[in-house]
Amino acid sequence: MNERPVVLWADDEIELLKPYLIFLKQKGYDVVTANSGRDAISLLASANPDIVFLDENMPGISGLETLQIIKERNPVVPIVMITKSEEENIMEQAIGSKIADYLIKPVNPNQILMTLKKHVSGKAIVSRHATASFRDEFQDLSFVISSARTLAEFMDIYQTLVRWSETLQDADDSMRQLLSTQYDDANKAFAKLVRSNYQNWLADDTLLMSHRLMPMQVMPRLNAGDKVCLVVIDNFRYDQWRAIYNIVAEKFHIVSQQLYCTILPTATQYARNSIFSALMPLQIKQRYPQLWVEEGDEDSKNQYEKELLNAYFQRNRRSLTSEYYKINESAFCEKLVEQLPARNAHADMIAVVVNFIDMLSHSRTESQMMRELAADEQAYLSLTKSWFQHSPTIDLLLQIRKLGYKILITTDHGTKRVTNAVKVVGDKNTNVNLRYKVGKSLAYNDREVVAFTRPEEIGLPAPNVSSHYIFAQNKDFLAYPNNYNYYVGYYRDTFQHGGISLEEMLVPLIEIE
């Protein structure tokens, strides 16, 4: 089997290009030549080229016409125009036809070689370079992980790991496995940090966390006279933000982006209620018992977010006007885009909750088809990108910007793909979440979970006097002994939230305009 890349080169003066042809052959390329556009088209199927070089000015059909026909027959083959013409309209036509490159004669042989490496071997070269770079950095990153002692250091580590995940997308399995090992090491070290420092973080009024998002990020902007829109995308991880970054950057100026730490549990009823109320869950229950829904209640546990937001403004003696919207489906979002100008002409703040990614995460657990579509982390990110690209959420953000709002995008928590079951025992009143448990009769191995036996010390309500909270870490999920094998088989390799991991707790905050 011939593994040498094939170049199809069409030029009516091809005999004058013999030095280039010899040069390319020496560099490992096979070149099939054609004297006209028609000849190039007739050779397309048999030559099966990896790239096509076209002269623009040839007898018969022109290079641009040849380009169109080749694109119809083989849309994926890169085509490079090599011509004497410097006319701007020809360049624009070629670019409009999605040409790969445009070179003006006379060309240096190394220009040709660079073009080939870029368009034929580019992915392989990038992958080899990325693999070599990761090998070089692996030991350094391992040392950084083992020596990290602060939340800021783990934020840097997490961002580095996500960057390497993006870089190594096309690398071989061995490199991705090495990266997965570093994720595991980082998450284990992070869980130890949370175990010993979480209570101190809650006591540090300067540290941005869920319950400080309103006073530290939203109120200063409102106090400065700005209108603010807070968009909370439920279950939105930092790597998902990176997946849609370019889509957002095409339409908006990204003013700032950072990570901050959520509260525990990393579950919607705790973290998102804390965002809108600017209170810890225990404080919500104490101050507004009518707005707090207990673990065992059947009611929606986030039905009072608008009321919690208004209560926050009242506590701060601010007569600010606000609007709150929860988006569960595209049709409502499209309708909101149309109605927003009339409904929010004078509102000081708009709060928008977007639930799609959370729905995607849960549907992956329940639907075999969704498990196939989001088979791994990379596929999960791809689905996120596809949703955002085709969703009316972009139109909503554009409309909000048009109305003059500062836009902050964040989430209540992230999610974690779980693979390892940890046995716990609880009574019938214990909650059903797989990443954390709260109850009075919990039996577990101390080394396998992070436990807080005094919920009030971490700002959480206790359903009973003797209740305490336990949290799964890294890739673990909590399973009961009853029907253990079925339970484990059903939930293994699903995305869950509520526990302790970089992906769940270190979440993005972005300002766009």
Give the count of beta carbons closer than 10 Å to the beta carbon of residue 124.
11
Q: Convert the pLDDT of each residue in 18-61 to its tens digit.
A: 999 999 999 999 999 999 999 999 999 999 999 999 998 898 99
Q: Convert the pLDDT of each residue in 369-380 to its tens digit.
A: 777 877 788 889
> In sequence order, what DSSP letters do the residues of 34-74 get, joined into one string?
ESSHHHHHHHHHHH--SEEEE-SS-SSS-HHHHHHHHHHH-
Output the six-digit token pair for 453: 């036996």
Query: What mean pLDDT comes out for the span 96-105?
Result: 86
What is the model's pLDDT at position 333?
A: 96
Do 352 and 230 contact (CB within 8 A), yes or no? yes
Nearest to 63 by CA among 18, 97, 15, 27: 97
In the 3-class helix/strand/coil scheme, how is 284-324 assigned residue by residue?
Answer: HHHHCHHHCCCCCCCCCCCCCHHHHHHHHHHHCCCCCCEEE
Q: At 196, is the secondary structure helix, strand, or coil?
A: helix
Question: What H or E segment, with its residue span, contains residue 325?
Answer: strand 322-327
Does the pLDDT at position 281 exceed 60? yes
Nearest to 262 by CA among 189, 201, 326, 200: 201
What is the model's pLDDT at position 2?
A: 58
Query: What's the residue count for the chain?
Result: 513
Mean pLDDT of the chain: 93
What is the model's pLDDT at position 207?
A: 99
Phi, psi at residue 153, to the nearest 5°? Answer: -65, -40
The residue with greater pLDDT, 467 or 361, is: 467
What is the model's pLDDT at position 401?
A: 97
Does the pLDDT at position 298 exceed 70? no
- Beta 420-423 vs 476-479: how paired, if at all? parallel
- Percentage of the chain beyond pLDDT 90 is 77
Q: What confidence tier does 345 reach under pLDDT thresholds 50, 70, 90?
A: low
Do 282 and 455 contact (CB within 8 A), yes or no? yes
Does the pLDDT at position 1 exceed 60? no
Output the six-digit token pair for 145: 């992980």
Does the pLDDT at position 384 exceed 70? yes
Asked if the peptide bond before residue 455 counts as cis, ω within 30 degrees of 0, the response is no
Query: What mean pLDDT comes out for the span 420-425?
Result: 97
Give the range among 75-84, 214-223, 394-403 with minimum mean pLDDT.
75-84
Do 69 and 47 contact (CB within 8 A), yes or no? no
Query: What mean pLDDT comes out for the span 309-337?
Result: 93
Rg of the chain in Å (alpha carbons):
28
Query: What mean pLDDT comes out for the span 481-485?
Result: 91
Give the count of beta carbons closer than 10 Å to the beta carbon of residue 199.
14
Query: What mean pLDDT comes out for the span 270-288?
Result: 98
Hey, which of 155-164, 290-299, 438-447 has the most confident mean pLDDT?
Answer: 155-164
